[in-house]
Amino acid sequence: MTNKELKQKSIAYRKKILRYIVNAKAGHTGGSLSCIDILNVLYNEVMHVSPENFSSPDRDRYIQSKGHCVEALFVVLADKGFFLEEDLNTLCQYKSHYIGHPTRKVNGVEQNTGALGHGLPIATGTAIAAKLDNKDFKVFTLLGDGEMPEGSNWEAALSAAQYKLDNLCAIVDKNGLQITAATKDVCSTDPLDKKWEAFGWAVKEVDGNDVGALKEVLSSLPFEEGKPSVVIAHTTKGKGISYMENQLKWHHGVPSPEEFNQAMNELDESALLVH
Amino acid sequence: MEEDINTLPHKANLEIYAETLQRLAEKDRGIIAVTSDSRGSGKLVLFGKKFPEQIVEVGIAEQNLVGVAAGLASCGKKVFATSPACFLTARALEQIKNDVAYSNNAVNIVGISAGVSYGALGTTHHSLHDYAVLRAINNMTVVAPADNYETEKAIELAAAIDTPVYLRFGKKQMPYLKEVSKEEIFEFGKGRIITEGNDAVIIACGETVYPALEAALLLKEEQISATVISMHTIKPLDTDLLAKVANKCSVVLTVEEHSIYGGLGEACASYLLENRIYKPFKIVGIPDEYTVTGSQQEIFNHYGISKKGIADEVRKLLSSEYITGK
């Protein structure tokens, strides 16, 4: 896919995220918008995973540690054909499988997540299994910067380095905000790059809302042979919608009809400017 | 036959766990032990030497232990995540709940040195809550084998099934409860009748089954006959067997190396009450207090988890004030 096509894809995904969140009257809007470019590039450019090979032991794995931003995952999986997109009309509704966090009841979801600090340990075990079986699939996990204080992340970071898991890639969606306040004011994990490096990982930083830059970085794995890779993706919470960007209230705010219309108009306008 | 059980060879269940896992691992390269600096206490040192590719060491990091185990299981490995029960089932409870049970990654969670096996090391090292918390987690089988036979069979079964299992082992040498007939089939969720009688039923699990059996033998000398059940699977509970023996006997007693809250005793009590089987009933276990200092046996004796203590409780239950409700 060209960068232009990827950019258009991200805009289309953003529109869908907002549409289904408004329909559900619930969702994690800001974080889904910050990480959607990362999922776009992973599923459309980097990972070898599709509905056709999903039962294959050789498929690449994606585990979304920041499970609350499930809307981003669901719209991408629907787009890839894992299920009918119209199913998302039931998001968060009574008896729907499309609940507010990733669940394996939804085709394409690898692991049930939602509680924070779980993705990296599971991804580490999955990457160890690949090494044991001499398989060359890659394992990706998406972490939020707000979940980095969970100790289980750092336990897993140690193990991944110990086992030289260069088939493992963690991506931190570093949008700088969490539910209470700015991440740096809650429990700062800066300097995050130095911390990962000290734990034995190869680190790259990237503009996490730049699909071209993401494509380049995520296509160069592993960053170092014998080391797990981490991408610190600097993103903007609420990215793409002027009144949502970097605003705490949109952590899980649901747009009003007027706000929704404005958001759609802004996204349509930005689509015209894509080059 | 009952008098001969002590003459049969016996080891700590933990050793049988390690031996069985080695035997299975020789034939099945998919068997993986994950340890948290616990291969020594888990008797897995030899396993690690023989199968270095089949042991994953995460260091002292129980949450990661369970998460890594879930990831391995998601790729088809038959994983035995081994760590002291006290830390494993408390510190990594959320990982057990979400990464293993909720995601249905068929990890076998192996809690070693369980209950008060660590005796005088104190409360931090006792696991008296694990039945309670794991019983409350959907999709989790909870097993406490009593003797070496049950342990070997439990490990074989756990390796074969594709749902999560919690296995609990102590450190004590465990005598065989009875000779095993060729026809006997060990199944999770099916209790074993160790000895039969009509006056009392004593339902126990894990290392407390043996003192229950000793108590039954003592009571037999006083013409009190007791049924002893090894209820090795605490969840799912063998309610058919429970109803059958409770209906047959006058009183019901449960014994466990666990808090009296939320374990085997409460599981049996709630079933009996809900099914209108009203019998004088007593839960023998650790009361709501931090345990006294001592060895496992001293702690057992202190709380009546012993031949004498269990027999005393049976006599009390059979006394007229209990039977008539006065």
Write out pLDDT tens, residues A67-79.
999 999 999 999 9
SS3 A63: strand
Q: Look up residue B188 and give its amino acid.
A: F
Q: How confident is the model at residue B10 (pLDDT cuts 50, 70, 90)?
A: confident
Answer whether residue B2 shows pLDDT above 80. Answer: no
- Using the beta-carbon criterion (under 8 Å), do A111 and B99 form an inter-chain contact? yes
With b for 16 or more beta-carbon neighbours within 10 A and e for fewer, the B252-279 pattern comes to: bbbbbbbbbbbbbbbbbeebbeeeeeeb
Interface probe, candidates B68, B107, B162, chain A, greatest A C-beta count within 10 A = B68
CB proximity A182 to B under 8 Å: no
Q: Tell me the residue range of the domain where A233 lies.
A: 3-273
Contact A147, A113 (CB under 8 A): no
Residues of chain B positioned with their CB less than 8 A from the CB of A123: 71
What is the pTM assigned to this prediction?
0.95
List the single residue in A115, A123, A127 with the smallest CB-CB distance to B98.
A115
Tokens of A23: 């329909």
Are A82 and A114 a contacting pair, CB within 8 Å? no
B58–chain A nearest CA distance, Å:
6
Q: Is the pLDDT of residue B5 over 60?
A: no
Report the alpha-carbon distance of residue B190 to residue B206 in Å, rounded. Answer: 14
- Type and span of the H or E element at B201: strand B200-204
Q: Would you say residue B67 has pLDDT above 70?
A: yes
A–B: how many Cβ contacts below 8 A?
Answer: 99
Residue extents of the structural domains in chain B? 2-175, 192-324
Interface test with B, best of A143, A147, A155 (most B CBs within 10 A): A155
Give the angle subtended at the CA of A140 by the CAs of B93 and A244, to the nearest 5°.
Answer: 90
CATH label of the domain that carries residue A90: 3.40.50.970
Residue B280 has pLDDT above 90, yes or no: yes
Based on the structure, what is the number of domains in chain A?
1
Q: Where are the alpha helices (DSSP H) in chain A?
A: 3-24, 29-41, 70-79, 119-132, 151-162, 183-187, 192-198, 211-218, 257-272
What angle is formed at CA B134 by the lines to CA B128 and CA B136, rounded to 5 degrees?
115
pLDDT for res B326: 45
Evaluate whether B2-175 and B192-324 have a shared fold. Answer: yes
Q: Mean pLDDT over residues A223-238, rounded?
A: 98
Q: Cβ A128–B68 below 8 Å, yes or no?
A: yes
Residue A135's CB: how many other CB atoms inside 10 A? 14
pLDDT of residue A243: 97
- Which are the contacts of B184, defined by CB distance < 8 A and separation ≥ 6? B192
DSSP string, B148-197: HHHHHHHHHHHHH-SS-EEEE--SSB---SSPPPTT----TT--EEEE--
Among A209, A260, A268, smallest CA distance to A34 is for A209
Q: How far is CA A106 from the centre of its chain?
A: 17
Inter-helix orientation angle B307-318/B209-220, to 10°: 60
The C-alpha of B234 sits at a distance from chain A's nearest C-alpha, in angstroms, of 26
Instruction: Quote the radius of gyration of chain A (alpha carbons, Å).
Output: 18
> Which of B73, B76, B95 lies closest to A118 in CB terms?
B95
pLDDT digits (tens, 9 = 90+) for B201-217: 999 999 999 999 999 99
Q: Residue B42's pLDDT is what? A: 86
pLDDT at position A185: 96
Contact assignment for A128 to B71 by CB distance below 8 Å: yes
| Token pair belonging to A200 | 């034995």
Shortest distance between the Cα of B67 and any Cα of chain A, in A, equals 5
Tell me the average pLDDT across B236-249: 98
The pLDDT of B256-283, averaged and rounded, is: 98
The fraction of chain B above a pLDDT of 70, given in percent, is: 95
Cis geometry, peptide bond prior to residue A191 (ω within 30 degrees of 0): yes
Average pLDDT over residues B113-122: 94
Statement: residue B1 has pLDDT above 60: no
In this predicted structure, the answer to whether residue B3 has a pLDDT above a threshold of 60 is: no
| C-alpha A40, offset from chain centre | 9
CB A190 within 8 A of CB A250: no
CA distances, B103 to each of A66, A160, B145 (Å)? 16, 22, 26
CATH no. for B192-324: 3.40.50.920
User: Which of B181-210 are b and which e, b meaning 16 or more Cβ less than 10 Å from the residue's Cβ?
Assistant: eeeeebebbebbebbebebbbbbbbbbbbb
Look up residue B46 and give its two tokens.
């030899």
B41, pLDDT greater than 90: no
CB contact (8 A) between residue A158 and residue B59:
yes
Chain B closest CA to A8's CA: distance in Å?
34
* Average pLDDT of every residue of chain A: 97
For residue A75, what are its two tokens? 């719209």
Neighbours of A100 (CB within 10 A): 18
Place of tokens 């030899």: B46
Q: Are A232 and A143 in contact (CB under 8 A)?
A: no
Per-residue confidence band for A155, with pLDDT thresholds at 50, 70 and 90: very high
pLDDT at A13: 98
Q: What is the mean pLDDT of residues B54-71?
A: 98
Confirm whether the ipTM is greater than 0.90. yes
B130 has pLDDT over 90: yes
Q: How far apart are CA B204 and CA B198, in angstroms?
A: 17
Nearest to B212 by CA among B198, B190, B193, B236: B193
Contact A104/B103, CB-based, under 8 Å? yes
Contact A156 B68 (CB under 8 A): yes
Which residues does residue B201 pair with via DSSP β-bridges, in sequence order?
B227, B252
Distances from the Cα of B95 to the Cα of A242, B92, B225, B259, angstroms: 38, 5, 45, 23
Are A122 and B99 in contact (CB < 8 Å)? Answer: yes
Q: Closest partner residue to A121 among B59, B64, B102, by Cβ? A: B64
Nearest CB among B56, B61, B103 relative to A112 is that of B103
Nearest to B74 among A111, A113, A155 (CB): A111
- The CATH number of B2-175, from 3.60.20.40, 2.60.40.10, 3.40.190.10, 3.40.50.970, is 3.40.50.970
pLDDT digits 0-9 by tens, A160-210: 999 999 999 999 999 999 999 999 999 999 999 999 999 999 999 999 999
User: pLDDT confidence of B169, banded at 50, 70, 90?
Assistant: very high
Q: What is the pLDDT of residues B290-326, one digit of tens each?
A: 999 999 999 999 999 999 999 999 999 999 666 655 4
Alpha-carbon span B219 to B66, nearest angstrom: 44
User: β-pairing, B226-230 with B192-195?
Assistant: antiparallel
Task: Name the amino acid, one letter, at A80.
Answer: K
